[in-house]
Amino acid sequence: MADARRAPLKDQTDISGARVLIVEARFYDDIQDALLEGAIAELKAAGVTHDVITVPGALEIPAAIAIAIDAAEATGRAFDAAVALGCVVRGETIHFEIVSMESSRGLMDLAVSRKFPLGNGILTVNTEAQAWARARASELNKGGDAARAALAMLRIKRRLAKA
């Protein structure tokens, strides 16, 4: 008998018409292309629209999302969720720790303080080979995972708003 606690519930809450923001850090262009491909495929499969903003690196992603949320709300075209995509590869200095921890903290702060559905697809890896294994849609598809996480949080938000 399967453990019911481990089986994810299929939330059928309607997210049609949703608008999702993807903010991508283009530090590793080829890896980023793979992450973006996975995320866009998931969003298209869910039938939601998306916009893409590109920033220089992972540290800029949380601020770009916050700026875009405010700008979109001001124009009456609010975003319903966001997907953060990037890659941080460990180097010889503590820069890796700063970028990976602070970008993650910034995303969590943003999601919690604004109660905003967000999927974190910023890879934090030791090598480029690890990044490729996580980025490719044919392998771990972390771009797709981040998009699915954002959509799952959006479904939760919409379902609970109706309760």
Q: Residue 4 falls within a domain, yes or no?
A: no
Q: What is the DSSP string of 65-126?
A: HHHHHHHHHHTT---SEEEEEEEEE--SSTHHHHHHHHHHHHHHHHHHHHT--EEEEEEEES
Question: Is the pLDDT score of 71 beyond 80?
Answer: yes
Q: How far is CA 102 from the centre of its chain?
A: 15
Which band of pLDDT confidence, cut at 50, 70 and 90, is reported for residue 10?
Answer: confident
Which band of pLDDT confidence, cut at 50, 70 and 90, is reported for residue 12?
Answer: confident
Q: What pLDDT is attached to residue 4?
A: 46
Q: Residue 110 falls within a domain, yes or no?
A: yes
Nearest CA-CA partner of 24 in 73, 86, 113, 82: 86
State both tokens at 51: 């916009």
Helical packing angle, 61-74 and 95-114, nearest 10°: 30
Q: Residue 137 falls within a domain, yes or no?
A: yes
Q: Residue 2 falls within a domain, yes or no?
A: no
Catalytic residue numbers read 95
Domain range for 122: 20-162
Question: Is the pLDDT score of 100 beyond 80?
Answer: yes
Specify the number of domains making up the chain.
1
CATH number where 42 lies: 3.40.50.960
What pTM was estimated for this model as a whole? 0.92
Q: Residue 146 falls within a domain, yes or no?
A: yes
Residue 18, CB-side half-sphere exposure with 13 Å CA sphere = 26
CA distance 97 to 39: 25
Q: Residue 15 falls within a domain, yes or no?
A: no
Which residue bears the tokens 């590793």? 28
Question: Is the pLDDT score of 79 beyond 80?
Answer: yes
